[in-house]
Amino acid sequence: MSEVPTPELRPARPYFSSGPCAKPPVWSPEKLATESLGRSHRAKIGKTRLAYCIDLMREMLQLPDTHRIGIVPGSDTGAFEMAMWTMLGAKPVTTLAWESFGEGWVTDAAEQLKLDPTVIRADYGQLPDLNQVDWSNDVLFTWNGTTSGVRVPNGDWIAADREGLSFADATSAVFAYDLPWDKIDVATFSWQKVLGGEGGHGVLILGPRAVERLETYAPAWPLPKVFRLVSKGALTEGVFKGETINTPSMLAVEDAIFALEWAKSLGGLDGLKARSDANAAVLDKIVSERDWLSHLATDPASRSKTSVCLSVAGADEGFIKKFAGLLEAEGAAYDIAGYRDAPPGLRIWCGATVDTADIEALGPWLDWAYASLKN
């Protein structure tokens, strides 16, 4: 068969990983503030920078004063585990799972905390029936399923008069969508997703009902030191003012501050959403023009605009590995193979730190890799 011509134009920044994600396009290490590096996070400068990072997150997320923001260890996983271990057990628990991280919370609730949760599942690419949720329970869910490309369309399904708490693993959603904070009691995320920050730190957001739970309920199991948010029956307020539970990386904090200031220069949340929406629209056009490529998430209303998961006609795990390997070897796209637990396919990050021109330039390279392997 004839040789497939190599595209002439490569993406300028071929970073399409779904975590850690591409750095902001204007980023360079020389631009990071360094005054806090080598200093104690408990020194005035450390506390000031941590508090400033929290203030910027509040401003960029348009978060009401009713909600507290804390920087915690262990990335998004650590933040969500902290919420589960400190607040669950007071009420029955419902867990929603339509991808691997949601399944992880099912496992923790059932096997680690022994809570016998009600589990509502859907296959990869689908969203479970949200009308089945009983809001007399605490409810755990991923707002945007990073490994399936499926998200909840909005917060309308969350009961305003709920008795239980809503726990949203929102790590691929914050800074990309309008989130209804009056419907979210607990939210978690990490800087490494939409902000393109460094891994290792999580962010825990608590609404007033979550704070009330923490101050009025003590779980039956012992809590590790890094999970303790209450002292003498009262919330440890310092955690939400920059007095972190463990020693943070001030370099990672400065990196997050840089990304947040960049977001502010774009117009804040609206600017970040616009970039992500534009990227997702271009990738959707690429998919629609190819009969061998399709969205894993079939319903556009619940399709992610950040972690977009794609199916390749006739592809198995080996094909996808070779496909991604070809593009990486050419410097055209890095880390676009789907998640290991997901059906074989591609996963292309379309968050705000990716440039739309690079998504456009990716299209011909997808054709090249597919044709090369078929030949």
The Cα–Cα gap between 281 and 263 comes to 20
The Cα–Cα gap between 99 and 341 comes to 8
Q: In this structure, which amino acid lies at residue 372?
A: S
Q: In this structure, which amino acid lies at residue 369?
A: A
DSSP 24-77: PTT--GGGS--TTTTS-TTSHHHHHHHHHHHHHHHHHHT--TTSEEEEEESHHH
The Cα–Cα gap between 180 and 198 comes to 26
Cβ atoms of 148 and 309 closer than 8 Å: yes
Greatest pairwise CA separation for the chain in angstroms: 74
- pLDDT by residue for the chain (375 residues), tens digit each? 457 789 999 999 999 999 999 999 999 999 999 999 999 998 999 999 999 999 999 999 999 999 999 999 999 999 999 999 999 999 999 999 999 999 999 999 999 999 999 999 999 999 999 999 999 999 999 999 999 999 999 999 999 999 999 999 999 999 999 999 999 999 999 999 999 999 999 999 999 999 999 999 999 999 999 999 999 999 999 999 999 988 999 999 999 999 999 999 999 999 999 999 999 999 999 999 999 999 999 999 999 999 999 999 999 999 999 999 999 999 999 999 999 999 999 999 999 999 999 999 999 999 999 999 998
Q: In this structure, which amino acid lies at residue 365?
A: W
Copy the structure tokens of residue 198: 């460094």
Cβ atoms of 22 and 354 closer than 8 Å: yes
Domains of the chain: 29-264 (3.40.640.10), 268-374 (3.90.1150.10)
Cβ atoms of 60 and 178 closer than 8 Å: no
Cβ atoms of 137 and 94 closer than 8 Å: yes
Label residue 129 exposed, middle or buried (CB < 10 Å: 0-12, 13-18, 19+).
Answer: exposed
Provide the 10 A C-beta neighbour count for residue 352: 29
